[in-house]
Structure 1
């Protein structure tokens, strides 16, 4: 196996990943493992192909040529190596383009349209290694002390009081109280093949405009709108808030996704796709309690590197993302009521 000269940021908690780095051969090396025992409980891996954190799913995605079959961009696979210890090393194209926090609103809207075009085409049946029940399994296993939602002292912390007004607290409490209904609605919506981890760190837009998605480890059964719904709040949580994003990104992504569905010939009720986008906000039900605890314990670290970040900038952005989640959850309930769901 190659040396690891330039480690790349990734979720080091996830037990399915042994390492990601840029090799001297100009390729991205990613080792998938089934042998890690040091992961926290919410990031344990599994040998069950239907479990959301099945350890070798990403290798299956690439070797089956699934992104191309879906009509979605992905890094080209140079090689998938079975290692002597049973792990798998993926050698992937080092894609050039705009990535992460450098993506503009136009870029993110292009991601949503590409998702709509792929998910509206219904061109692929299920594979045995598709994840099942991702949204409920993932969102309800994040470490969160929901009692903090009712803790006035936690909400009065300066960092929280500055960025989360009382009306937002009330909306986020409603989100939590509606969690079971929102999850049930997502389970009832039309099904499609979802990436299930679409956020700016997993997106590169090539200079020619093609959208490339990274990290296919969670892929599987999901609701129409679920990927597009995740894309919006997760464009806020880990970077400083950028001008115009909170005001315009939610509707840009919604419109672009619906355009993609229409272009692909999707015949479903567009209101159901909007419901999927809105109700997907339930994925982040756990984040407000997590923010309250982090503010109390002064825990402010960057995703993938663990480096300290500016708490004020972090909470301004997270408040913007969570405000969208709270509003969308209310809209989902209203829309479901109007549809008789």
Structure 2
């Protein structure tokens, strides 16, 4: 029996994901492709360094790199088979992990995952010897996400009831500045200490098998800054409504402390301020989200994968509060970077 599983249907590298069941056994089938028609934003690439290189996940699994963090409590599903199909696609047959998804974890379990991630990334280098790992992920991932950017300076867009009622005061100025400072943030992030990174860590991509964190979807894996994966994971807990925005400040502090502890325990002896800068500067990844929300305020709000309607009021309130939290990260990064020898950020408008 083939059961379709929730995934991003817009991504051009994914032909589909299914749970395949026969008798009392099951596996997950994920088919990678480069021929799927989609938008420019999610188009598959033949460039091995591009963030959306279509064969990368197969290489990560076949090389064993997906299991490199296992001794630190983070692993990937076991690869059962990797098959080159006659049509040119690649079929990944993977372990069907039965454990609890991180979408339903208590806060303490997210903190534990952050500790494991710190230990793993403190011990594993960036992996520059693998020619199919992504590079400049933040820069290239955000480059084509331009929907609604002209609305950042549009008074009418900011007067939309969803935006006016649920975005905190001052968020417009903060997000406009973040957009105009984009190049500074990217340059800083690309100059920070490097580590092997998953680059798509969020609760829908993490499960627990009762012992380890099991990390799914390695399609973006490659070079990243220390702290960058954590800086992605934390806001995504709230953006997709897995954790209330009111819990984000406490979760972020506890998770950051746990991540740094993991780094130290793995033998990393660098300046902790560089890690903090990596986390805070990663706020630039979500520069495009404010503009997108302005553009889609009149659209039906649906969940990840296009499934189930989501309350527009709830989504805009929770995302507005999270964007305001990211504005605080950005402000902290602007103060911290010059202390570490980086040029000052551009002056506010």
TM-score band, normalised by shorter chain:
over 0.9
Deviations 1:178-227 (A, max 9, x none): 1111100001001111100000011112223x111100000001111100
- Which position in structure 1 is the counterpart of 2:229? 227
- Which position in structure 2 is the counterpart of 1:212? 214
Matched residues in 1 for 2:208 and 2:175: separation?
Answer: 33
Q: Matches of residues 251-262 of structure 1 in structure 2 within 5 Å?
A: 251-262=253-264
- Which position in structure 2 is the counterpart of 1:325? 326
TM-score (norm 2): 0.92
Q: Matches of residues 103-118 of structure 1 in structure 2 within 5 Å?
A: 103-118=105-120
Aligned-pair CA distance for 1:123: 4.9
Q: Matches of residues 88-127 of structure 1 in structure 2 within 5 Å?
A: 88-123=90-125, 125-126=127-128, 127=130
2:235–2:322 CA contact under 8 A, matched in 1 = yes
State the secondary structure of the residue aligned to 1:236.
helix
Matched residues in 2 for 1:88 and 1:240: separation?
Answer: 32
State the secondary structure of the residue aligned to 2:138.
helix
TM-score (norm 1): 0.94
Aligned-pair CA distance for 1:299: 3.5
Deviations 1:43-75 (A, max 9, x none): 111111111101011011111111222333111
State the secondary structure of the residue aligned to 2:306.
coil
Distance 1:286 1:32, change over 3 A: same
1:246–1:320 CA contact under 8 A, matched in 2 = no
Structure 1, unpaired ranges of 5+ = none
Aligned-pair CA distance for 1:339: 2.1
Q: Matches of residues 1-341 of structure 1 in structure 2 within 5 Å?
A: 5-25=2-22, 26-36=26-36, 38-71=37-70, 72-123=74-125, 125-126=127-128, 127-208=130-211, 210-239=212-241, 242=244, 244-295=246-297, 297-341=298-342
Aligned-pair CA distance for 1:305: 2.8
Distance 1:100 1:19, change over 3 A: same
Matched residues in 2 for 1:293 and 1:222: separation?
Answer: 30
1:14–1:39 CA contact under 8 A, matched in 2 = yes
Distance 1:273 1:24, change over 3 A: same
Matched residues in 1 for 2:274 and 2:165: separation?
Answer: 36
